[in-house]
Structure 1
Amino acid sequence: MAVIAHLRIPAASFELGRILELEASGTVELENMVPLGEKAVPFFSVSDEVRESFEENVENHPSVERIIEVTRHDAERLYSLEWNVGRDVFLQGIVDLQGQLLSATGTVRTWEFEIRFPTHETLSEFQEYCSNAHIPLEVGRIYNPVRPGTGIWYGVTQAQRETLVRAVQGGYYSIPRQMSTQDLADELGISDQAVTERLRRAIETLTTNTLIAMEEELDEEFEPAQES
């Protein structure tokens, strides 16, 4: 049965953390990571207050092929990064063990992750993998996204939850629609593209960790026994 784990590691202990080096006051929020051949292109948002030093640090990193500013809105900018994920032992371990990266937020010292693993055993394998790779891993809350009463947010991040709740309350999904994507973006102080991405990921995560997970569990439970 799938589990979701909240993990924390030092920023300097994995490749992407070293690439996305920040000043003391900055934060980075990973919005998405898109597979592209043998690469994985992360999309992440950064506040304007640390933008200049952030861009300089990233562009000068030897592992980075290209950093692109995708969009900007008020005091936040969305970037995409082209780099070889295979050089990142931590993220490659997630990929190899079929983990699903639900969210990631970084500061100058630490990164916090929310990762969905297929089973408890897979999570244990990942912990052992990090130990063997000398990656300091702090495991926080672990919960099964299917069981009621455990993990009440079902893997949805705080930013995604805020966006989705405001969309529902504001009539974004009403017929006729009472709120546009731009209206929602203006209220939250982010770009309309960031709103669309957060809503998409929130709905995908909720569906995956509830409806799909429950169907898979029921299919396994009621699978006909094989005749001997």
Structure 2
Amino acid sequence: MSVIAELSVPGDDFGLGRVLEVVSGISIELESMVPMGETAIPFLWVHDSHRDSFTANLAKQEVVSELTEIDALDGKTLYALEWDGKTDELFRGIQQLGAQVLNATGTPRKWEFELRFPDHETLSDFQRYCQHHGITLDVRRIYNPTRPDSGPWFGLTPVQRETLLLATERGYYDIPRQCTTLALAEELGVSDQAVTERLRRAIVTLVSNTVQYPAREE
């Protein structure tokens, strides 16, 4: 079963972190790494207020061959970075072990990663790999995404999902509460007791298949 690890790495411990040299006040978001021959092209989101310092820094890096502006959205710009990344041991290890980068954000002190591994054993292999290559990992959280047999809605039946979604949309869980189970029952065409039972079972199912399941496994 796949496992997700949330961890951090000092920027100086891997090639891309050293190239980007995140300066004070700048936050860089890694959207994806697209394989291209022996290396991979990172796609990076940068806030527009930091564009000048970001591009000026990369212009000084000998390993950077080209920086291309791809898109702009909500005050941020997406760049594609072509660079000589063959010696980046961190991303080489991620690729070799079949891991997937779900999220990554760089700050002046460190990079925060969310990585998905095929299983716990592969995660352990990655930790040993990083130790061997002098990469410092600070693992903050390890968890399984959901139960493997829980289905597309984390085990919820269509009726439970419909009731839970309606309760959320109508503000049943707001503080203060915006509707009652009686109002939900009238809209769904069922009894007040049926709504209460659906919500109770839906919440138990969600907890069992998400929050509680990894704890049992660990």
Task: Tell me the TM-score range normalised by the shorter chain.
Answer: 0.5 to 0.7
Residue 129 of structure 2: aligned partner: 129
| Cα shift at 1:53 | 1.4
Residue 77 of structure 2: aligned partner: 77
CA distance in 1, matches of 2:117, 2:134: 21
| Cα shift at 1:44 | 0.9
- Give the aligned length: 151
Counterpart of 1:84, as a letter, is D
CA distance in 2, matches of 1:95, 1:28: 21
TM-score, reference length from structure 2: 0.65
* 1:122-164 Cα deviation digits (max 9, x unpaired): 101111111111111101111112328xxxxx9xxxxxxxxxx
User: Pairwise CA RMSD of aligned residues?
Assistant: 2.0
CA distance in 1, matches of 2:81, 2:91: 15
**Residue range with higher mean Cα deviation, 82-91 or 114-123:** 82-91
Residue 25 of structure 1: aligned partner: 25
* 1:87-146 Cα deviation digits (max 9, x unpaired): 101111111111111110110111010111111111011111111111111011111123
CA distance in 1, matches of 2:74, 2:3: 37
Contact 1:41–1:80 (8 Å) recurs in 2: yes
Residue 163 of structure 2: aligned partner: none
What SS does structure 2 have at the residue aligned with 1:19? helix
| Cα shift at 1:36 | 1.9
Contact 1:10–1:110 (8 Å) recurs in 2: yes
Contact 1:22–1:50 (8 Å) recurs in 2: no
What SS does structure 2 have at the residue aligned with 1:62? coil
What SS does structure 1 have at the residue aligned with 2:86? helix
CA distance in 2, matches of 1:6, 1:47: 23
CA distance in 1, matches of 2:29, 2:118: 24
- Correspondence list, 1:130-149, <5 A: 130-147=130-147
CA distance in 1, matches of 2:120, 2:5: 10
What SS does structure 2 have at the residue aligned with 1:85? coil
| Cα shift at 1:23 | 2.0
**Residue range with higher mean Cα deviation, 118-127 or 69-78:** 69-78
TM-score, reference length from structure 1: 0.62
CA distance in 2, matches of 1:96, 1:85: 15
Unaligned runs of 5+ in 2: 149-153, 155-168, 170-209, 211-218
Unaligned runs of 5+ in 1: 149-153, 155-168, 170-209, 211-228
| Cα shift at 1:74 | 5.1
- Correspondence list, 1:18-167, <5 A: 18-73=18-73, 75-147=75-147
| Cα shift at 1:63 | 1.4
- Correspondence list, 1:209-224, <5 A: none
CA distance in 1, matches of 2:132, 2:71: 39
Counterpart of 1:22, as a letter, is V
**Residue range with higher mean Cα deviation, 56-65 or 125-134:** 56-65
Could you tell me the percent identity over the aligned residues?
Answer: 50
TM-aligned CA distance change 1:71 to 1:127, over 3 Å: same
What SS does structure 1 have at the residue aligned with 2:146? coil
